[in-house]
Amino acid sequence: MRRIAVVGGSLAGVHAAEALRERGFEGDVTLISAENELPYDRPPLSKEALISGVAMERLGLRAPEWYADNAITTRIGSAAVGLDTARRAILLDDGTRAGYDGLVIATGSRPRRLPSTENAPPVQVLRSIEDSLRLRERLRPGRHLVLIGAGFIGLEIAATARHLGLDVTIIEVGQVPLGRALGDEVGSWFRTLHARNGVEIVCTCTVETIERQGEGAVLTLSNGRTVNADVVAAGVGASPVTEWLDGSGVQTANGVLCYSDLSTSVPGVVAAGDVARWYNPLFDEEIRVEHWTNAVEQGRRAAHTLLGEGEAFSAVPYFWTDQYDARMRFVGRATAASEVAVKEFDDERLVALYGRDGLVRGAVCVNAPRELARYRTAIRDQVRWDDVGEAPSRIGG
C-alpha cells in the first residue's frame, strides 16, 4: 500500500491522516475536501462564531503548515462524485481522478433542508462556515428568530440568539425538545431551561407553510397559529453523504455499512465519523453517531484497520452541549432504552440513566461531572442496574 486517500475534510478525516503518519506509514497521503477551507472545528459554529464571527486561526483543526510538515497533500474544494473500486480511483467534480491503494471515507453528513416553494424566504441551516457567516449577519438584537426543530443544533442556536438579544420561538413536532433522542423527562428539563431564558417552544406542532413577508417571513402552523419572523432557521437532522458511492460496491444504508473494525464491504476501504454505520459489540447493535469524540476516535481506528491493525471499535459514545449555564454531557445510548431512572432533577442539575436488558446503557448529566465519569465506567463495564443502586422506572419494553 503506497497511496492512501482520505475523502472528507472532516474531524474524522484529519485524525485518520494524522494516525497514518503516527503509525509509521510513509507513502502518499491525500486529503480530499469538498469545502473551500482547510478542515475546521464545527461545534463553535452555533456558539462562539455566531457571537464574535469566524476566525480560521481558532477554528482550524490544524495549522496550515501542519499538512506540509506531515507530507499530507490537500485537495481543497474538490468534491468526490463517484468511486471506481475496480480501478481504485476517486472521481472528482472537476473531472479528474485521484488514485488510491487504501481509502478512508470520512465525508460526514449534511443538514436536511425543508422543501422550498417559489415565494418561500430562505430558511437557514447551520453546518459550514458559510452557513454560520450567513446566519450571523441576520442575528440582530430585537429581531425575531423562528427555529424549526428542537434538537441539539436548534437549542444551541436559540441560546446564542437569546444572548445576542433576539426574541426566539422554536417549533417542534415532538412533545418536548430532545424527546426522540433523550426521552420526555430530559426533554421537559430542557424545555424549562429555555423558558426561563425567554424562549417560546411550541411543541406537537409542524410548519404548514412559510411565505415571504417583506424582508422576513410568516409561518402558518398546524395548530392554526401564524408566526411572524425576521429570521427562519431549521435544525431537522442530517443525512450521511454517501450518494457518491452509488454503484461502487461499498454497501450503504443510512451511512456506510461497516464491520466492527470499521472496514467496509470493499477490501482496502474503511469509513469513520458521521458517515459510518458500524456494529458496536458493546451495545450489540449497528449504530451511526454524529458527534465530535466519536469522529476523533473512529478516524484513528479506521487508519489502524487500513494498516492491518484492526480491532473492534467498541467505544462508549460521548457528546456534549452547552446552553446558557447548563453544561450537558451524555455517554452511551438512549435509543431503544426500556428503562429510565431520574436521579437528580432541579433547576441547576439533571442526572438520568438509561437501561436495556438489565444493563446500564446511557447517562445524561447536566452540571454533574463526577456522576458522568462514574456512569461512563459503568456503561463500559456493562454494570447491571441493581449494581449502581438505582431504582429504575419502567418506560416501555
pLDDT tens digits for range 56-73 = 888 999 999 999 999 999
Among 323, 368, 324, residue whose Cα is nearest residue 343: 368
- If pLDDT is split at 50, 70 and 90, which confidence band does 386 have? confident
d(CA 134, CA 126): 9
pLDDT band at 115 (very low <50, low <70, confident <90, very high): confident
| 288, containing H or E segment | none
In this structure, whether the domain defined by 325-388 belongs to CATH 3.30.390.30 is answered with yes
* pLDDT mean across residues, the chain: 94
Residue intervals in the chain for CATH 3.50.50.60? 3-110+238-307, 129-234
**pLDDT of the residue at 390:** 52
Encode pLDDT of 18-63 as tens digits: 999 999 999 999 999 999 999 999 999 999 999 998 888 889 999 9
Contact in structure between 260 and 280 (CB atoms under 8 Å): yes
Do 7 and 80 meet the contact criterion of CB atoms below 8 Å apart?
yes
pLDDT digits (tens, 9 = 90+) for 269-320: 999 999 999 999 999 999 999 999 999 999 999 999 999 998 999 999 999 9
Cβ 334 vs Cβ 320: under 8 Å: no
Percent of the chain beyond pLDDT 90? 88
Task: Give the pairing of strands 285-287 and 269-271.
Answer: unpaired
Ranges for all domains in the chain classified under CATH 3.30.390.30: 325-388
Give pTM, 2 decimals. 0.94
Read off the pLDDT of residues 346-357 as tens digits, 9 standing for 90 and up.
999 999 999 998
Give residue-wise pLDDT tens across range 146-188.
Answer: 999 999 999 999 999 999 999 999 999 999 999 989 999 999 9
For residue 263, the model assigns a pLDDT of 98
* Of the listed ranges 50-64, 83-97, 235-249, the one predicted with least confidence: 50-64
User: Exposure of 267 by Cβ count < 10 A (0-12 exposed, 13-18 middle, 19+ buried)?
Assistant: exposed
DSSP 169-226: EEE-SSSSTTHHHH-HHHHHHHHHHHHHTTEEEE-S--EEEEEEETTEEEEEETTS-E
Q: β-strand 350-356 against 339-345: which pairing, if any?
A: antiparallel
Answer for the pair 182, 334: CB distance below 8 angstroms, yes or no.
yes
233-244 average pLDDT score: 96
Contacts of 112 (CB under 8 A, 6+ apart): 234, 236, 237, 238, 239
Q: Contact at 8 Å (CB) between 248 and 84?
A: yes
As beta bridge partners, residue 364 has 330, 352
CATH assignment of 129-234, among 3.60.15.10, 3.30.450.80, 3.50.50.60, 3.40.50.80:
3.50.50.60
At the second CATH level, the architecture of 3-110+238-307 is 3-Layer(bba) Sandwich (3.50)
Confidence of residue 397 (pLDDT cuts 50, 70, 90): very low
